[in-house]
Amino acid sequence: MKKIAIYGKGGIGKSTTVSNLSRALAATGKTVMQIGCDPKADSTKSLVGGKRIPTILHTLKEKKKSTKLEDIMVVGDGGVLCLEAGGPTPGIGCAGRGIISAFELLEELNAYEIYKPEIVIYDVLGDVVCGGFAMPLRKGYSDEVFIVTSGEMMSMYAASNIAKAVRQFSNREYASLGGLILNAKNIENEGELVKKLSTELDTSIIQYIPRNPIVQKAENLGKTVVEAFPDDEMSKIYMDLAQKIIKEENDNEK
């Protein structure tokens, strides 16, 4: 089982990228589990027809100890196993604590043993990399971290902070930084700016994803691009990203 965490600033395109990546991985025959770790709880929306699925935190609050896997997991397009950690009531509680509770519950319910996902992808908000939001980096929850960024200052600032957080745990052999995913916003010199950042962070840009209105078109249909427009150039880009992730998985196993 390979576990990857995809971090990035809010609104940068994490969920879009992660959902398309999950769907692309599923198209290659992989069993994929996608876990949304953003209080927005819309990570898996485009895999389940544009609706929202019950969050783990909310379900735990309602059903407590009687919560079952079927209450919190929805099988989405391509068989992707979809989960959302959820978030606290605004102004009360800790979002990071929610992520921890969600992870603990998945372990208690033996989610990984029962469904045997080959690839688990955590879609994590990276604006604040506090202890809670760093949870997917800790204690072996993820092997590798990828950061979605554009060339905008604020998203590169967040990327830099996330990379620092990853390094905090690297000496304990937890997660390592796999690279940056450049989700373009078409700003001036974007490629050069993100290339410079990757050098500063001692990593590389593993995928360039252009800005493309087909993403919204698919979103309006409640679908990923890979599901709705499999022959489009954009689907090929997400498939390409999936192949890179699979290749790394195979290389690491050697």
123 Cβ contact partners less than 8 Å away, ≥ 6 residues apart:
6, 14, 15, 18, 34, 35, 36, 37, 38, 43
Q: Is 15 in the site for Mg ion (CB under 5 A)?
A: yes
212 Cβ contact partners less than 8 Å away, ≥ 6 residues apart:
233, 234
Partner in contact with 168, chosen from ligand SF4, Mg ion, ligand ADP, none, beta carbon below 5 to 8 Å by kind? none
Q: Is 235 in the site for Mg ion (CB under 5 A)?
A: no
User: 153, exposed or middle or buried, with CB in 10 Å at 0-12, 13-18, 19+?
Assistant: exposed
Q: Which is nearer to ligand SF4, 38 or 249 (CB)?
A: 38
Least distance to ligand SF4 from the beta carbon of 37, Å? 11
What's the rounded Cα separation, in Å, for the pair 8 and 27? 25
What's the rounded Cα separation, in Å, for the pair 39 and 126? 12
Partner in contact with 207, chosen from ligand ADP, ligand SF4, Mg ion, none, beta carbon below 5 to 8 Å by kind? none
Partner in contact with 178, chosen from Mg ion, ligand SF4, ligand ADP, none, beta carbon below 5 to 8 Å by kind? none
Least distance to Mg ion from the beta carbon of 38, Å? 5
Nearest to 10 by CA among 36, 40, 35: 40
Residue nearest to Mg ion (CB): 15
How many angstroms separate the Cα of 86 from the Cα of each of 41, 47, 183? 5, 17, 24
Q: Which residues contribute to the site for ligand ADP (CB under 6 A)?
A: 8, 10-16, 183, 209, 211-212, 215-216, 219
Give 179's strand partners: 146
Is 127 one of the catalytic residues? yes
Partner in contact with 132, chosen from ligand SF4, Mg ion, ligand ADP, none, beta carbon below 5 to 8 Å by kind? ligand SF4
Helix (H) or strand (E) holding 215: helix 214-220
Computed over its alpha carbons, how large is the radius of gyration of the chain?
Answer: 17
Least distance to ligand SF4 from the beta carbon of 98, Å? 8
* Active-site residue (options: 2, 3, 14, 30): 14
Q: Which is nearer to ligand SF4, 96 or 179 (CB)?
A: 96
* Active-site residue (options: 9, 30, 45, 223): 9
User: 183, exposed or middle or buried, with CB in 10 Å at 0-12, 13-18, 19+?
Assistant: buried
Partner in contact with 94, chosen from ligand SF4, Mg ion, ligand ADP, none, beta carbon below 5 to 8 Å by kind? ligand SF4
* Active-site residue (options: 38, 77, 123, 127): 127
Nearest to 35 by CA among 141, 122, 107: 122
Q: Which residues contribute to the site for ligand SF4 (CB under 6 A)?
A: 94-97, 128, 130-133
Q: Which residue is associated with the tokens 């372990």?
A: 107
Is 14 one of the catalytic residues? yes
**Distance from CA of residue 5 to its chain's centroid?**
6
Least distance to ligand ADP from the beta carbon of 6, Å? 9
Is 40 one of the catalytic residues? yes
Q: Which is nearer to ligand ADP, 8 or 86 (CB)?
A: 8
Positions marked active-site: 9, 14, 40, 127
Residues near Mg ion, by CB under 5 A: 14-15, 38
